[in-house]
Amino acid sequence: MYRICQTILLSCQERTEQTDDGLFERLSIMIADILAACTNLPRVIITKCHSNATKERRKSVHEAFLLLGKTGQILELLQRQEWPSLDYDKAACIEEWRDSFLHSNDNPLTSSTSSDEAVKSPTSSAEQITVMVE
């Protein structure tokens, strides 16, 4: 969450005429990317549909259908967003998704400033930013 917030803050600082709709759209895309990285929806649905008992299978298929219906909007967002070219092992790592997101050419959050490098790898610098919430 820290790195996501830093990316959004940098984007807001660079764009003074940014609209709420633009920020919401970028945030929605980031959330959809994170959900895609954290969930493996096709595997869950296949697992739900495969069951030995007929009665249990019918119930599992119904649950899988409901799950697919509930995630329709997320799937729609994912279809609008181009998948990053990550291999299977890297796709499960949020840092790899974030790096891919920052380096994509058509991404509105991509920046050519040196502050982008500072956000991309805060552990490489000696100083750390600490945010205290009271």
Range of the domain at 90: 2-39+79-124
Query: What would the pLDDT profile of 22-64 be if each residue is shown by its tens digit?
Result: 778 878 887 777 777 677 767 777 777 776 677 777 787 788 7
Q: What angle is formed at CA 22 by the lines to CA 16 and CA 26, rounded to 5 degrees?
A: 110
Query: What would the pLDDT profile of 92-122 be if each residue is shown by its tens digit?
Result: 677 777 777 777 644 444 444 434 444 444 4
**55 within domain boundaries:** no
Cα 33 from Cα 78, distance rounded (Å): 7
User: What is the rounded average pLDDT of the residues 7-21?
Assistant: 73
| Res 14 pLDDT > 50 | yes
Say how many domains are in the chain: 1
**67 within domain boundaries:** no
